Amino acid sequence: MMSKSKHIASENLRQILLKISLVLILFSYSYVFAAGRTRAEFLRIDTGGRPAGMGGAFSAVSDDINSIFYNPAGLGWIEGTEVTFLHNAWLEGISQDYLAGTHNLGWGSIGVSINYFDLGEITGKASQIDKPYSFTARQTAATLSLGGRIKTNMAVGTSLKLIQEKIENENSSGWAVDFGIINQIDEYRFAVSAQNLGPKIKFIDEKEEIPTLFKFGIARQLENLTIAFDVNVLLNSSLYNCFGVEYKLNNMLSLRAGYQMDEDYDSNIGLTAGLGVLLGDYRLDYAYMPFGEIGITHRISIIYSFGNYPVLNDFKSYSMNYDDWYSKYGTN
């Protein structure tokens, strides 16, 4: 027979899943629950305004600090040091804070990040006749990433994640790894990445899978326009596609749009838009996400770049200038 404490925890877990499902619906991941429940679903929620504005189509585009989350191979294209911060306040007291930093080591870059997800105050009860009470739930992932170029036009990367979930007095923890590769041919980039490869996470007496995701991406640079497309395969679940564009109006302003496509969608939930504003060493990224009757969400992230490294503005520049860049900075 299940003990009272475990029964209470199980009831609380149901309340947690309701909140998590709300977040995933807001971010176009509702199909996860139709196919089967997994733990640590917050690992799939976007952490940057730029990728979010492009509909999440970023595995091949990855060329800044957002690479930690989307494809660690993109760290091979980062010069100098970057830091970023994102805060999101959503419905029902749900919030997300994301802090990350990268630093070029010569042969590549190292990145670290903390992704903190607070589900706020939740009302639960042990049984139908007991009085309701409030408790909290939080999820955290700490990530260490490494990425570098093994050839002028090819980069590889990997990440290690430590995951922790806390629901009232119950805790669970686990780990996962990411792998990625980006190959660049003239104005094209091709990418393959695997996210959240790891063992099941045990909560109370139940072990559940984490959301393992495989991405296959392609991006093309046309003058000031970047076009990107990702095919995403969620292990033991479904397949969905992401399409995104980014247009650089000038050296200060970029416009973005995207769409997430899934066979289960019957509305415009996947539409996204955004913009980026470069002010000196700072870049402000904003994403607009309409979700039909649910409403509109807004996300803002800020990136600060510093260091005496050149800024390369397009795919061709990366390929043509890499040898000169490495001879000057690669031995630092």
Tell me the pLDDT band of 10, cut-offs 50, 70 and 90.
low
- Whether residue 312 is predicted with pLDDT greater than 50 in this model: the reply is no
- Whether residue 317 is predicted with pLDDT greater than 70 in this model: the reply is no
Nearest to 243 by CA among 217, 213, 263, 224: 217
Cα separation values, 178 from 48, 102, 162, Å: 18, 17, 12
pLDDT of residue 299: 85
pLDDT of residue 263: 52
Task: Give the C-alpha separation, 63 to 311, whole Å.
Answer: 11
pLDDT of residue 331: 45
- Whether residue 157 is predicted with pLDDT greater than 80 in this model: the reply is yes
Q: Which residue has the tokens 């589900």?
A: 119
pLDDT of residue 310: 36
State mean pLDDT over 107-116. Answer: 94
DSSP one-letter string for 11-34: HHHHHHHHHHHHHHHHTT-THHHH
Selected residue with higher pLDDT from 212 and 239: 212
Lowest-confidence pick of 156-170, 224-238, 274-288, 303-317: 303-317
Assigned token pair, 191: 């990418």
- Whether residue 177 is predicted with pLDDT greater than 60 in this model: the reply is yes
Cross-strand bridge partners of residue 113: 100, 143
Model confidence over 116-128: pLDDT tens digits? 988 777 665 555 5
Instruction: Tell me the HSE value of 261 on the side-chain side, using a 13 A CA sphere.
Output: 10
Mean pLDDT for the chain overall: 79
Entry pTM: 0.80
Q: Which fold has domain 4-329?
A: Porin (2.40.160)
Nearest to 126 by CA among 17, 5, 19: 5
Would you put residue 292 in left (φ > 0), alpha (ψ -120 to 50) or beta?
left
| Residues above pLDDT 90, as percent of the chain | 45
Lowest-confidence pick of 96-100, 110-114, 159-163, 297-301: 297-301
Assigned token pair, 185: 């041919």
pLDDT of residue 44: 83
- Whether residue 197 is predicted with pLDDT greater than 70 in this model: the reply is yes
Contact 160, 146 (CB under 8 A): no
Selected residue with higher pLDDT from 238 and 55: 55
pLDDT of residue 234: 87
State mean pLDDT over 24-46. Answer: 56
Model confidence over 259-274: pLDDT tens digits? 987 654 444 457 899 9
33 φ/ψ angles, rounded to the nearest 5 degrees: -75, -25
**Which are the contacts of 123, defined by CB distance < 8 A and separation ≥ 6?**
15, 132, 133, 134
Please count the other Cβ atoms lying within 10 Å of the Cβ belonging to residue 185. Answer: 11
pLDDT of residue 200: 86
Number of helices (H) and strands (E) in the chain: give both, helices first.
5, 16
- Whether residue 147 is predicted with pLDDT greater than 60 in this model: the reply is yes
pLDDT of residue 41: 78
Question: Which alpha helices (DSSP H) does 61-176 contain, by range?
Answer: 67-70
Contact 219, 60 (CB under 8 A): yes
E strand or H helix at 51, and its extent?
Answer: helix 49-53
Tell me the pLDDT band of 204, cut-offs 50, 70 and 90.
confident
Q: Which residue has the tokens 């029964």?
A: 7
Task: Give the C-alpha separation, 296 to 84, whole Å.
Answer: 24
Nearest to 167 by CA among 33, 5, 4, 21: 5
187-219 CB burial, b ≥16 within 10 A, e <16: eebbbbbbbbbbeebebbeeeebbbbbbbbbbb
Task: Give the C-alpha separation, 165 to 141, whole Å.
Answer: 9
